[in-house]
Amino acid sequence: MIIDCHGHYTTAPKQLQDWRDAQIAALKDKARVPEKGDLGITDDEIRSSIEGAQLKIQRERGTDLTIFSPRASGMAHHIGNATTSEHWTHHCNDLIYRACRIFPDNFVGVAQLPQSPGVSPKNSIRELERCVNELGFIGCNLNPDPSGGMWTDPPLTDRYWYPIYEKMAELDVPAMIHVSSSCNPNFHATGAHYINGDTTAFMQFITADLFKDFPSLRFIIPHGGGAVPYHWGRYRGLAQDMKKPLLKDHLLKNVFFDTCVYHQPGIDLLTKVIPVENVLFASEMVGAVRGVDPETGFYYDDTKRYIEASGLSATDKQKIYSGNARRVFPRLDAHLKKRGR
Ligand SMILES: [Zn+2]
Residue extents of the structural domains in the chain? 3-338
- Positions in the chain whose pLDDT score sits under 50: none
User: pLDDT value at position 222?
Assistant: 98
pLDDT of residue 288: 80
CA 305 to ligand 1 center in whole angstroms: 19
What pLDDT digit, counting tens, does each position of 200-223 carry?
Answer: 999 999 999 999 999 999 999 999
Question: 68-85: per-residue pLDDT in tens?
Answer: 999 999 999 999 999 999
Ligand 1: distance of its center to the CA of 246 in Å?
A: 29
Instruction: State the pLDDT at residue 23.
Output: 97
Q: How far is the CA of 259 from the centre of ligand 1 (A)?
A: 11
Annotated active-site residue in 60, 284, 295, 308 = 284
Question: What is the 190 CA–ligand 1 centroid distance (Å)?
Answer: 9
pLDDT of residue 30: 87
CATH for 3-338? 3.20.20.140
Tell me the three-class secondary structure of the chain, residue by residue: CCEEEEEEECCCCHHHHHHHHHHHHHCCCCCCCCCCCCCCCCHHHHHHHHHHHHHHHHHHHCCCEEEEEECHHHHCCCCCCHHHHHHHHHHHHHHHHHHHHHCCCCEEECECCCCCCCCCHHHHHHHHHHHHHHCCCCCEEECCCCCCCCCCCCCCCCHHHHHHHHHHHHHCCCEEECCCCCCCCCCCHHHHHHHHHHHHHHHHHHHCCHHHHCCCCCEEECHHHCCCHHHHHHHHHHHHHCCCCCHHHHCCCCEEEECCCCCHHHHHHHHHHCCHHHEECCCCCCCCCCCEECCCCEECCCHHHHHHCCCCCHHHHHHHHHHHHHHHCHHHHHHHHHCCC
295 is known as an active-site residue:
no
pLDDT at 71: 98
How far away, in angstroms, is 242 Cα from ligand 1 center? 31
Backbone angles phi, psi at 130, to 5 degrees: -60, -45
295 CA → ligand 1 middle, Å: 24
pLDDT at position 287: 79
